[in-house]
Amino acid sequence: MSKRIYKNSSESHKPHKMTCNICDSDIEEDNGDIVGYFGICQVSFCVWCMSSMTDMIIQLQGFNDIATLEERINELKEDILYDTSK
């Protein structure tokens, strides 16, 4: 998933130092930092920002609420039963 970026072709022997797109800390892929793409845009996130974004999504989607999770699980079970009955 990771790819090294070079500033320009004349500096192709020197990899560009990647930083987190949110907090600008240095990216260390060996420590769990994420490098990838949103569509065609390259992004990189440190482990702290990535876990914070994940937690934000969990909260925004209501997945930190047991009742919401149980409802979603039941919906998924119904979808599976419907798909297997075809």
Residue range 37-63: mean pLDDT, rounded: 93
Band (4; pLDDT cuts 50, 70, 90): low
Helix (H) or strand (E) holding 34: strand 34-38
Q: How confident is the model at residue 6 (pLDDT cuts 50, 70, 90)?
A: very low
Q: How far apart are CA 86 and CA 84, in angstroms?
A: 6
- Domain map (residue ranges) of the chain: 9-84
Using a cut of 0.85, tell me whether the model's pTM lies above it: no
pLDDT digits (tens, 9 = 90+) for 8-47: 445 445 566 899 999 999 999 888 899 999 999 999 999 9
